[in-house]
């Protein structure tokens, strides 16, 4: 556990106290640190979040708790136990801020630290959001499986002319609307559609053609989406969503599926797409096996004769 404590100490020492930025301080799930595969540590303004994926060894865990409790700072320290039903959270130090949010560059995203397994923002997507922000000027974006609409916020911050967010959960879309308000974005430039994507292509196509389609589905969500069965159903719809040409940002966070899964599936379902770029994993998310990391690929699309 000394390695985790050292990573926390270094990360906190590097934090800009005037404009603190969210980041992962320790990524045990990347299997780069033997014996520590079941722990991640994230920093958000005012909050240190410890995520445990299995019950920790008592002695090592107590050492970590003692360090965190004794550390002289004003952070609220929260432990989330993902190995238990409902992923309960416990505050072990401080008081949870009334408004919790992730901060990346000058964007903010509302967090539900103690209420959900997924708190509302995925830190491993920070660099991808920044890329989109840098390349969104004037484009129309379709954000499929939008969750809390972070891609929409990044696109509009980068000057996108319109974004359509689609998700089957009204709760996450409401958080997405809040995220737009937090970032002072014009609500008229973004639409929020509560739809089962695989059953709603007619309604999704109505605002088409789009310039860019973002696809960021869950890897395995029972009853709604399983990557091996359903990702191809989305990719084959690309020609109906884009015009004569456009781009597709395809994402997949499924450690059990190799990088070539997306490439082979795209070649099969949408041969008009050509790979432009594979995005490297963030330095804060080291992986012993690159095939297990987050997969994000940018494709160009050209309508075939």
pLDDT for residue 109: 98
Q: What is the mean pLDDT of residues 201-213?
A: 97
For residue range 215-239, list pLDDT tens digits in order.
Answer: 999 988 777 899 999 999 999 999 9
| DSSP code string of 39-62 | EEEEEETTEEEEEESSPPPHHHHH
For residue range 168-185, list pLDDT tens digits in order.
Answer: 999 999 999 999 999 999
Please give the mean pLDDT across all residues of the chain.
95
Cα 58 to Cα 26, 116, 209, distances in angstroms: 19, 25, 56
The span from the CA of 224 to the CA of 166, in Å, is 13
Domain ranges in the chain are 2-110, 123-302
Which CATH class for the 2-110 domain?
Answer: alpha beta
| DSSP code string of 117-155 | SS-S--GGGHHHHHHHHHH-TT-EEEEET-TT-HHHHHH
**Percentage of the chain modeled with pLDDT above 90:** 90
Q: Give residues with Cβ within 8 angstroms of 250, minimum separation 6.
A: 215, 235, 262, 266, 295, 296, 297, 298, 299
pLDDT for residue 14: 93
Angle between helices 150-157 and 170-182 (to 10 degrees): 30
Domain 123-302 in CATH: superfamily?
A: Vaccinia Virus protein VP39 (3.40.50.150)
Q: What is the mean pLDDT of residues 140-164?
A: 98
Q: CA 14, 20, 21, 22: dihedral to nearest 10 degrees?
A: 90
Please say if the pLDDT value at position 107 is more than 80. Answer: yes
Q: What is the mean pLDDT of residues 100-124?
A: 93
Cα 178 to Cα 23, 76, 148, 183, 280, distances in angstroms: 21, 23, 9, 9, 30
pLDDT for residue 227: 93
pLDDT for residue 115: 75
């Amino acid at each position: 556990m000394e390695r985790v404590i050292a990573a926390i100490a270094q990360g906190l020492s590097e934090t800009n106290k005037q404009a603190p930025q969210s980041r992962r301080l320790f990524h045990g799930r990347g299997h780069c640190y033997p014996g520590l595969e079941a722990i991640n540590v994230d920093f958000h303004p005012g909050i240190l979040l410890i995520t445990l994926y299995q019950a920790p060894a008592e002695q090592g865990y107590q050492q970590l708790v003692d360090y965190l409790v004794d550390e002289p700072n004003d952070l609220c320290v929260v432990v989330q136990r993902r190995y238990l039903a409902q992923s309960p959270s416990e505050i072990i130090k401080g008081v949870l801020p009334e408004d919790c949010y992730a901060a990346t560059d000058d964007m903010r995203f509302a967090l539900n630290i103690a209420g959900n397994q997924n708190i509302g923002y995925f830190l491993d997507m920070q660099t991808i959001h920044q890329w989109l922000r840098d390349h969104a000027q004037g484009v129309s974006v379709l954000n499929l499986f939008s969750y809390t609409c972070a891609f929409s916020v990044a696109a509009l911050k980068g000057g996108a002319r319109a974004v359509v967010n689609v998700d089957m959960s009204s709760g996450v879309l409401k958080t997405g609307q809040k995220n737009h308000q937090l970032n002072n974005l014009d609500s008229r430039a973004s639409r929020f559609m509560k739809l089962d994507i695989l059953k709603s292509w007619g309604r999704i196509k109505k605002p088409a053609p789009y310039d860019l389609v973002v696809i960021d589905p869950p890897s395995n969500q029972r009853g709604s989406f399983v990557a091996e069965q359903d990702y191809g159903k989305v990719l084959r719809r690309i020609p109906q969503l884009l015009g004569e040409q456009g781009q597709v940002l395809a994402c997949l966070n499924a450690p059990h599926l190799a990088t070539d899964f997306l490439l082979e599936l795209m070649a099969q379902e949408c041969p008009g797409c050509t790979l432009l770029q594979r995005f490297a994993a963030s330095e804060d998310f080291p992986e012993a096996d690159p095939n297990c990391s987050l997969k994000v690929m940018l494709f160009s699309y050209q309508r075939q004769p």
